[in-house]
Amino acid sequence: MIVLGLDPSLTCTGWGVIRKTGSRLSHIANGQVPTGSKEEMSFRLAALQHAVAEVIRTYRPDVAAAEEVFVNKNPQSTLKLAHARGAVLAACGAAGLAVHEHSAKVVKKSVVGTGGADKNQVQAMLKVLLPGAPIAGSDAADALAVAIAHAHLARTF
């Protein structure tokens, strides 16, 4: 099973692709899609949708997973995140790819063993679970963590 993990964001969307064979996980690819803060919103969203569509075409995942939405204290930030998620989910939907959502706590627990893990702990476990994988940055790391969590939880779907 090939899993695409997504960490949608308007400033920089992370993506990660892994393969699960039995109980073994292996890294395929990961990356980040930054958008320019001075660009028009419609162009930024189109860029996200296009980039995720290209990742799907290139790696042909069987399933996608993303972290559930959390609500920021700033309504504008929440709205911008929702726009970015919409573009990313639309790219998946257009490709016929269902997106499963997992809470941040579930992702951390699946990867590290505790739902209260911090980013450093998650990134350290990625090095253990995907040895030698070059990770494009923190957003890509988050996306790989989502993919790993889904791979661990997939038998429940």
What residue numbers does the annotated binding site cover? 7, 67, 139
- Residues 68 and 102: beta-carbon distance below 8 Å: yes
Residue pointed to by tokens 């090095």: 127
Q: What are phi and psi of 106, to 5 degrees?
A: -65, -40
Active site residue 62: no
Distance between CA atoms of residues 29 and 25, nearest Å = 12
CA distances from 59 to 17, 53, 116, 126 (A): 8, 10, 32, 20
- Residues 56 and 4: beta-carbon distance below 8 Å: yes
Kindly name the residue from 39, 54, 62, 67 that is annotated as catalytic: 67
Active site residue 118: no
Q: Which run of H or E residues covers position 120?
A: helix 119-129
Kindly name the residue from 68, 101, 139, 142 that is annotated as catalytic: 139
Binding-site residues for Mg(2+): 7, 67, 139
Max Cα-Cα span within the chain: 45
Radius of gyration for the alpha carbons in the chain, expressed in angstroms and rounded:
15
Residues annotated as part of the active site:
7, 67, 139
